[in-house]
């Protein structure tokens, strides 16, 4: 079948698609979902019906990589540089921000995509997938490391074009008039990426919304992950800021979910995992006052020997506990086999002088041992007006080379991403593990143990501590709000999320000169695991962040959601009893084959 021709040839109107059908006509009880090779795969006429129902927004999914694998052409030369541009990837329904994971998954396109413009489009796609027993997959920003917004032979619900943003001064969730006071909020289309929200709320609006660190991550994906931004140590998880969602559930109904209406679904959407409970069409998030200043500390220290490095880590652990373990400081410290300590932290609410004063004792300690420690000259510790954190023009004017920009002809200069995220654009993962580290490890009598474990792990691979992804040290209000989400409660007791990961740049099987290095990838996965085991020995039940974790996470239900999993499983059964929404290692995924096509 010529996939491009069906839209022109069939003449059935939209009305018939929208007719209700008896529940037992659903193919829900069928064991296997259909693939294009199945005789029962929808006919051109039926696809045309869907296309009419979604206002002509059904598109065959183009897959530039596949074309270049099968018949390399001159135009393919640019493909791999484009795959280092998250906006190029984000604009292509067939591509994903992670190109794959060795021995786990490889990016492959859906057959068709509904490039949705409204909740009604989403509802039509959900009903069609259900009626025809199709594998449905939802994609927003496309950043899933685990390939959960990607499924070959599927119908894709693509929300990229749904990025309207509206600020409210007095928002009350529907049905909450009697219990909720009006508050500032922002309603964001589910296909928006975070930079679009920050531009509206912070750069233009002078206020704050809790989102993700990476500018191109999708709003809906991150909220459902229970994700974190650089300032989460103060404001809490992004999911905690959700006030209301509009969501299409598996029965095709457009529902409102908030604390008063469908509160169980609302709770599940706050960290229960993307692509699992329904397809979100828009989200309303809490807006807060913006502190005057934000800033950071960015430098690295080279130790001259293993012994000096061990002492450096011990000193840093104590210093972190004393000076940085509070809601001002987030982001990262890295410990690596070459005996380098890399600090890449951000702060909020401090001036340049205040932030420098905080670090001075640590810098003094280093200065006492010049033969043991070399501080790289390009040290930055300081603050800036928070209002301009995501302001591309201001950053340019003030010579802050922190962003890379979409270099395609005609691209808006506001399409940027942090330099620090560049290594992950289009990458192939070799290994990735995370672990929440309880704050009890920072107690006086545990610091030595923690420092030794970090040193031992750093002998094997680079270890990153993401302080903003553990909420111990956050204000009680932020912790209480996170406890009212589906995320593993371990996040509330953790001072940091440890991450160990490795991978290579954009690559694709069969693409000569750009293939995944499977042998290196397998070796790296073992190394990553051994490295994390050094920390796991201290926190065997630490848990992992669902969206930044191992594809092969053992006991993923406990790791991602802890005691919350049982409630999530009930909610899944209530809103999606037939498992229309399936993602790898999602709630309810145990009932399906790994590809989500066959009910077990």
Ligand X SMILES: Cc1cc2nc3c(=O)[nH]c(=O)nc-3n(C[C@H](O)[C@H](O)[C@H](O)COP(=O)(O)OP(=O)(O)OC[C@H]3O[C@@H](n4cnc5c(N)ncnc54)[C@H](O)[C@@H]3O)c2cc1C
- Least separation, in Å, of the C-beta of 181 and ligand X? 28
- Least separation, in Å, of the C-beta of 274 and ligand X? 2
Instruction: Choose between 99 and 564: whose C-beta lies nearer to ligand X.
Output: 99
Q: Is 141 in the site for ligand X (CB under 6 A)?
A: yes
What is the contact mask toward ligand X in residues 383 to 422, using x (rule: CB under 6 A)? --------------------------------------x-
- The total of other beta-carbon atoms located within 10 Å of residue 75's CB is 10
- Least separation, in Å, of the C-beta of 8 and ligand X? 29
Half-sphere exposure of 68 (CA within 13 A, CB side): 18
For ligand X, which residue of 424, 488, 550, 585 counts as binding (CB under 6 A)? 424
The runs of H, that is alpha helices, within 270-326 are: 306-319
Q: Is 196 in the site for ligand X (CB under 6 A)?
A: no
3-state secondary structure of 360: helix
Residues 511-540 that bind ligand X (CB under 6 A): none
Residues 231-270 that bind ligand X (CB under 6 A): none
The rounded distance, in Å, linking the Cα atoms of 233 and 248 is 32
Q: Is 274 in the site for ligand X (CB under 6 A)?
A: yes
- Least separation, in Å, of the C-beta of 379 and ligand X? 24
Residues 144-173 that bind ligand X (CB under 6 A): 144-145, 148-149, 159
- Least separation, in Å, of the C-beta of 149 and ligand X? 3
**Is 289:188 a contact under the CB 8 Å cutoff?**
no
Instruction: Choose between 138 and 257: whose C-beta lies nearer to ligand X.
Output: 138
The rounded distance, in Å, linking the Cα atoms of 209 and 386 is 12
What residues form DSSP beta bridges with 494? 438
Q: Phi/psi at 349 (nearest 5 deg)?
A: 80, 15
- Least separation, in Å, of the C-beta of 312 and ligand X? 27
Q: Is 596 in the site for ligand X (CB under 6 A)?
A: no
- Least separation, in Å, of the C-beta of 376 and ligand X? 25
3-state secondary structure of 195: helix
Half-sphere exposure of 378 (CA within 13 A, CB side): 4
Instruction: Choose between 205 and 218: whose C-beta lies nearer to ligand X.
Output: 218
| C-alpha 211, offset from chain centre | 10
Instruction: Choose between 6 and 88: whose C-beta lies nearer to ligand X.
Output: 88
The rounded distance, in Å, linking the Cα atoms of 241 and 226 is 10
Instruction: Choose between 450 and 587: whose C-beta lies nearer to ligand X.
Output: 587
Instruction: Choose between 217 and 250: whose C-beta lies nearer to ligand X.
Output: 217
Closest C-alpha to 377, from 301, 297, 316, 303: 301
Instruction: Choose between 240 and 339: whose C-beta lies nearer to ligand X.
Output: 240
- Least separation, in Å, of the C-beta of 127 and ligand X? 16
**What would the two tokens of residue 132 be?**
């025809």
For ligand X, which residue of 65, 124, 222, 451 counts as binding (CB under 6 A)? 222
Q: Is 227 in the site for ligand X (CB under 6 A)?
A: yes
- Least separation, in Å, of the C-beta of 226 and ligand X? 8
| C-alpha 295, offset from chain centre | 23
Question: Which long-range contacts link 2-10 to residues 24+ away (Cβ below 8 Å)?
Answer: 3/60, 3/111, 3/112, 4/60, 5/44, 6/44, 6/47, 6/48, 7/47, 7/48, 7/51, 7/56, 7/58, 9/44, 9/48, 10/44, 10/45, 10/46, 10/47, 10/48, 10/49
**Is 218:308 a contact under the CB 8 Å cutoff?**
no
Residue 15: partners with Cβ closer than 8 Å, 6 or more residues away? none
The rounded distance, in Å, linking the Cα atoms of 172 and 436 is 34
Find the helix or strand (DSSP H, E) in which 365 lies: helix 352-367
Q: Is 224 in the site for ligand X (CB under 6 A)?
A: yes
The 3-state DSSP composition of the chain as helix, strand, coil percent (nearest 5) reads 35, 25, 40
Q: Is 228 in the site for ligand X (CB under 6 A)?
A: yes
Q: Is 121 in the site for ligand X (CB under 6 A)?
A: no
Instruction: Choose between 159 and 559: whose C-beta lies nearer to ligand X.
Output: 159
Q: Is 192 in the site for ligand X (CB under 6 A)?
A: no
The rounded distance, in Å, linking the Cα atoms of 432 and 344 is 20
Q: Is 583 in the site for ligand X (CB under 6 A)?
A: yes
The count of chain residues that interact with ligand X, using the rule CB under 6 A, is 35
Residues 59-98 that bind ligand X (CB under 6 A): 97-98
- Least separation, in Å, of the C-beta of 280 and ligand X? 4
Choices 165-173, 175-183, 256-264, 273-281 (CB under 6 A): range interacting with ligand X: 273-281
Q: Is 435 in the site for ligand X (CB under 6 A)?
A: no
For ligand X, which residue of 85, 106, 547, 550 counts as binding (CB under 6 A)? 547
- Least separation, in Å, of the C-beta of 418 and ligand X? 9
**Is 229:213 a contact under the CB 8 Å cutoff?**
yes
Instruction: Choose between 362 and 432: whose C-beta lies nearer to ligand X.
Output: 432
Which residue do the tokens 């002088």 mark?
353
**What would the two tokens of residue 360 be?**
């001075």
For ligand X, which residue of 93, 140, 562, 579 counts as binding (CB under 6 A)? 140
Instruction: Choose between 110 and 148: whose C-beta lies nearer to ligand X.
Output: 148
Q: Contact positions toward ligand X, by CB under 6 A? A: 97-98, 138-145, 148-149, 159, 190, 212-214, 217-218, 220-222, 224-225, 227-228, 274-275, 279-280, 421, 424, 547-548, 583
């Amino acid at each position: 079948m010529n996939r491009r021709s069906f839209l022109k040839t069939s003449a059935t109107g939209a009305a018939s698609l929208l007719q209700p059908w008896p529940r037992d006509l659903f193919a829900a009880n069928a064991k296997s979902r259909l693939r294009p090779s199945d005789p029962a795969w929808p006919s051109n006429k039926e696809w045309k019906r869907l296309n009419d129902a979604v206002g002509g927004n059904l598109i065959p999914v183009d897959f530039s990589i596949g074309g270049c694998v099968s018949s390399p052409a001159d135009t393919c030369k640019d493909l791999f540089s484009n795959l280092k541009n998250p906006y190029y990837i984000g604009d292509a329904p067939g591509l994903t921000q992670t190109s794959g994971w060795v021995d786990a998954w490889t990016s492959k396109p859906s057959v068709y995509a509904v490039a949705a413009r409204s909740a009604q489009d989403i509802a039509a796609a959900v009903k069609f997938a259900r009626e025809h027993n199709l594998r449905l997959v939802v994609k927003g920003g496309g950043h899933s490391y685990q390939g959960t917004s990607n499924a070959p032979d599927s119908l894709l619900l693509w929300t990229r074009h749904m990025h309207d943003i509206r600020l409210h001064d007095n928002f009350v969730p529907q049905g909450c008039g009697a219990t909720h006071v009006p508050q500032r909020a922002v309603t964001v289309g589910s296909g928006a990426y975070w930079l679009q929200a920050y531009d509206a709320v912070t750069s233009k609006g002078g206020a704050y919304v809790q989102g993700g660190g990476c500018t191109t991550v999708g709003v809906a994906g991150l909220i459902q992950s229970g994700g974190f931004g650089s300032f989460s140590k103060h404001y809490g998880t992004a999911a905690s800021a959700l006030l209301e969602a509009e969501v299409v559930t598996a029965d095709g109904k457009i529902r409102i979910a908030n604390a008063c209406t469908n509160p169980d679904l609302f709770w599940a959407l706050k960290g229960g995992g993307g692509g699992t409970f329904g397809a979100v069409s828009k989200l309303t998030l809490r807006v807060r006052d913006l502190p005057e200043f934000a800033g950071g500390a960015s430098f690295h220290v080279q130790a001259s020997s293993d012994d000096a490095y061990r002492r450096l880590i011990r000193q840093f652990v104590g210093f972190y506990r004393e000076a940085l373990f509070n809601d001002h400081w987030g982001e990262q410290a890295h410990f690596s086999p070459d005996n380098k300590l890399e600090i890449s932290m951000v702060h909020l609410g401090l001036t340049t002088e205040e932030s420098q004063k905080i670090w001075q004792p640590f810098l003094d300690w280093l200065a006492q041992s010049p033969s043991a420690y070399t501080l790289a000259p390009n040290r930055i510790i300081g603050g800036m007006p928070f209002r301009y954190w995501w302001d591309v023009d201001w950053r340019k004017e003030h010579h802050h080379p922190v962003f890379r920009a979409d270099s395609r002809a005609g691209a808006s200069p506001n399409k940027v991403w942090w330099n620090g995220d560049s290594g992950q654009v289009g990458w192939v993962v070799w290994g990735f593990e995370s672990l929440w580290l309880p704050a009890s490890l920072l107690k006086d009598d545990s610091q030595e143990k923690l420092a030794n474990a970090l040193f031992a792990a750093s002998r094997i691979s680079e270890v990153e501590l993401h302080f903003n992804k553990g909420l111990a040290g956050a204000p009680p209000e932020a912790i209480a709000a996170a406890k009212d989400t589906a995320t593993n409660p371990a996040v509330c007791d953790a001072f940091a999320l440890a991450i160990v990961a490795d991978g290579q740049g954009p690559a694709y099987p069969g693409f000569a000169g750009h293939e995944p290095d499977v042998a290196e990838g397998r070796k790296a996965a073992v190394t990553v695991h051994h490295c994390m085991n050094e920390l796991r020995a201290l926190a065997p039940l630490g848990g992992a962040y669902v969206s930044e974790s191992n594809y092969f996470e053992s006991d993923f239900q406990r790791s991602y959601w802890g005691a919350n999993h049982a409630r999530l499983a009930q909610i899944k059964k209530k809103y999606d009893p037939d498992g229309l929404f399936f993602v790898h290692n999602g709630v309810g995924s145990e009932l399906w084959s790994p590809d989500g096509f066959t009910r077990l």
